[in-house]
Chains A and B, each alone.
Chain A
Amino acid sequence: MAVSDSPPIRVALFGRKEIGIALAICALTALLIGYKVFALGYSMASVQQEDGYFVALQMDVVGNGRSCELKVTLPVSSDRQVIKHEKQVAESFRYTISPGRIGRWYNQAFSGKATLTYSCLAQTEAKRYPLPEGADIPTTYSLRLQSDLGAEERTQSTDPAIVAKAMELAPPGTQLKATLERIFNFCQRDLRYLEIKGPTDAVTALKLGEASCNGKVRLMVAMLRAKGIPARMANGLILERSRKRTTHAWVEAWVGDSWVPFCPTNDYFARIPETYLELAKGDVAVITRSRNIGFDWKWTVAHQLTTREKAVVANVDHPLNILRVWTTLKDYHVSLDLIMVILMIPIGATVVSFARNVVGVVPYGTFMPTLVAVSFRDTGFLFGAIMFTTVMVVAVSVNYLLMKLRLLHIPRLTIIITVVVLSILGVSVVCIKAGLTSGAAVSLFPMAILSLTSERFTQTMITDGAKEAVNRLMITFMVAGACFVAIDWTALQMVVVAFPEILLINVAINLVIGSWTGLRLLELRRFRDLPPETATP
């Protein structure tokens, strides 16, 4: 029997049994999801992630023994902004909220220092408002709009110059929409923007031909009122990650039967961006206070992503629902965010399994990249990378020194863990001082794992050279990056949170990867010079 007559090597790339089980698991998963969607009414729309801003006002007060009062116009929930999780710190002050949503801190005889705060989670939406085509400016309005038509101290709508300008821009007979457009365009384009501290009234703004946001707003309000359109000032915050003292102002005009926002400063015509949080209506100060105190304040805004818990459990009351994961856990006060992190870990592990068995790279530690990626979720990728590198450098140097001291294995690792913890603390403090606030989130950084990695790194450095050690560290870091992309993918998170049974598919995927006997990608390169199957007939 000659060699060339031998039967060709016929092996399946995957195990037949494993593929079968994997398919069965996928079918089961589809069944479960189908049951939830069609029988219990679960839907993806109901598990969108909640996007919001943490807004905090911090007020530092120094009193001299006399009565002390602070008032802040608090944000109100409306059709485009939702305010929740409100908190305040009053210290020795009495805190009340008036029906008109004015927060009031009061102390009859206050001396010394106090820090008073108000914070909330604000969820805002961008919104566009349709303007009626072909409508004229109404001639009569209900009584409650009268105050938004008359002149005010700084909004001199009866001033001849303002009336003349308004008439010039929109002669009598101009329709409502055109009037709004022309007056808006004038205030937005022709009136130059100038950063001025303090208020500017409408007449001054017109005279100077330039103004900051409040001047532009007062002039626009005054001209609209001069044209007989009810208008008022709106005060609020621009939600961007910052610490600041200034608020922003824009215009609201009564169109049809609702208030429509216009921002001549940032060019939003009949629309409002997601980042605007309204605090007060009318030409009022957001913060008012007693005169006889030392006072400083700042607004802090931070973007926040939280899962809308209510939405996830919304459909769970169905009597046939055997998958009440959320209600059950929530009744036990388990944080939804924690559950989500835990649910994403197997998916991160799949990334590692793919990297090792299909690509063929070997990072340090088995699931170390996954755990590092989980910690990146808290710290953000940039900060996480800084943290990872710093900790590795520190831990490896310390390990190297400890080896010289001839310390035994486990005590040495314990010392490294200690040093790792201290350096994480150090890096956090440095980052916070440098303004990188996300650095504070270090709680989940896998310290024990990092210590073990530094140990493996040191050993690899000694046995295989620094180049190989650094190479593998880079690989570890890259795989961690890939894990991070997977577990930080919001859409995937949402699907898994709504349908945890998706993780069964994770099992199926690994049944397939685990039975794959083909060459890994790197092996394709390694063995590229070898002749392929020569026994093929």
Chain B
Amino acid sequence: MIQRLFSRIHPAVFGMNRRNRELVMTHNHLTAIDLANDKIGTKNALSRAGVPVPASIAEISAHRDVRRIYSKLLGLQHGFVVKPARGSQGRGVTLFNRALPNSVLPLHGAPWTLEEFVYYVARILSGEYTVCHPVDQVIVEEKINPDRDWIVPGLPGPPDLRIIVMQGEPLLCMARLPTVASEGRANLHKGGVGLGIDLQTGRSTNAIMKEKRIAHHPDSGEPLIGVEVEGLADCMRIAALCATVIPLGYMGVDIIRDRDRGPVVIEVNARPGLAIQLANRTGLGEAMNRARNRKGRHE
């Protein structure tokens, strides 16, 4: 009885408390977390180690630089992305198609005036999208050419792959698929689909949307179970490489597939969320157990 109650409130599933105490606080040093939170520092470090990352166009750290950098953007043909260097959960990130002399064309929605663009950059700089930091910097990077059909065809936006790396070993993997409800973003709490991927077979085993199990994509009706993730081994290798560059014992690596360059790391996360357990129907504790057993077999 007590045993059952105990396993109910403390199963192999990790809650926030246990993740923070046993993973983040135990394995992630504050300086490493700080590095992971700073997209500029992370990107420089990753790119030096040979991890593919989106090409940087500019970094803005003062309001007066905005207009000077804008001239750089005018010439770009393939679009660009503006993000806060210390943002989280995709807040404050905007994709643009083109910069024109008097307006900026975002990927979605009506053209912005130049003033609107400058105000937006200023808001990022003054720390509005940043957690626990009074000021921020802005990264402008090349918009990659994402492979929308990487996981399943007919998605309303590009999918990405989240790999949890535990002490250098890929532990759990989830593909995140955008939906119409998530406005084309691969964001689970906006209504995106999470696909649990078995790292051994490279195939999806389970799918969730809004934390409920589903079998087909809500928009296209494409089956979601048993889907093979092309190039998963490559992605796992890249994720493991990230862990050698950013010294986090427990981290999440987010990967998008570029049509030309292949897998590209867009972000590393020092406190990756817990929904990946729901997507895989596997608790982090159990995944760690399995990994330990695999290691045991190899030795």
B12 touches A518 (CB 8 A): no
Number of A-B contacts (CB under 8 A): 105
- The reply to whether the CB of B16 lies closer than 8 angstroms to some CB of chain A is yes
**Chain B residues closer than 8 Å to A314, beta-carbon distance:** none
- The reply to whether the CB of B64 lies closer than 8 angstroms to some CB of chain A is no
| Chain B nearest CB, measured from A118 CB (Å) | 55
Name the one of A1, A408, A517, A526 contacting B17, with C-beta atoms under 8 angstroms.
A517
Name the one of B15, B281, B285, B293 contacting A3, with C-beta atoms under 8 angstroms.
B293
B285 touches A9 (CB 8 A): yes
A536 touches B7 (CB 8 A): yes
B15 touches A517 (CB 8 A): yes
Name the one of B9, B128, B290 contacting A519, with C-beta atoms under 8 angstroms.
B9
Which residues of chain B from 1 to 59 have a CB within 8 Å of any chain A CB?
6-13, 15-18, 21-22
**Chain B residues closer than 8 Å to A518, beta-carbon distance:** 9-10, 15, 17-18
Closest chain A residue to B280, Cβ basis? A530
Interface size range of chain B in the complex: 35 or more
- The reply to whether the CB of A410 lies closer than 8 angstroms to some CB of chain B is yes
- The reply to whether the CB of A443 lies closer than 8 angstroms to some CB of chain B is no
Hey, what's the 0/1 contact readout for B128-152 against A, CB within 8 Å counting as 1? 1000000000000000000000000
How many angstroms from the CA of A6 to the CA of B293 in the assembled complex? 7
Closest chain B residue to A531, Cβ basis? B281
Stretch with Cβ within 8 A of A (4 or more), from B118-126, B217-225, B234-242, B255-263: B118-126
How many angstroms from the CA of A15 to the CA of B189 in the assembled complex? 32
How many angstroms from the CA of A532 to the CA of B7 in the assembled complex? 6
B17 touches A516 (CB 8 A): yes
Closest chain B residue to A468, Cβ basis? B189
A13 and B91 in contact, given A531-B281, A535-B289 (Cβ under 8 angstroms): no
How many angstroms from the CA of A162 to the CA of B147 in the assembled complex? 108
- The reply to whether the CB of B230 lies closer than 8 angstroms to some CB of chain A is no
How many angstroms from the CA of A357 to the CA of B115 in the assembled complex? 43
Closest chain B residue to A517, Cβ basis? B18
Chain A interfacial residues counted at CB < 8 A: 34
B293 touches A519 (CB 8 A): no
Which residues of chain B from 162 to 190 have a CB within 8 Å of any chain A CB?
189
Closest chain A residue to B127, Cβ basis? A409
| Chain A nearest CB, measured from B81 CB (Å) | 17
- The reply to whether the CB of A524 lies closer than 8 angstroms to some CB of chain B is yes
B15 touches A530 (CB 8 A): no
**Chain A residues closer than 8 Å to B119, beta-carbon distance:** 406
| Chain B nearest CB, measured from A9 CB (Å) | 5
Most interface-central of A13, A524, A534 (chain B CB within 10 A): A534
Chain A residues within CB distance 8 Å of chain B: 1, 3, 6, 9, 11, 13, 15, 357, 360, 406, 408-410, 459, 463-464, 515-520, 523-524, 526-527, 529-536
Chain B residues within CB distance 8 Å of chain A: 6-13, 15-18, 21-22, 91, 115-116, 119, 122-123, 126-128, 189, 211, 213, 274, 277-278, 281-283, 285-286, 289-290, 292-293, 296-297
Given contacts A11-B285, A520-B16, A530-B11, 6 further A-B contacts (CB under 8 A): A464-B189, A527-B13, A527-B277, A527-B283, A530-B282, A532-B7
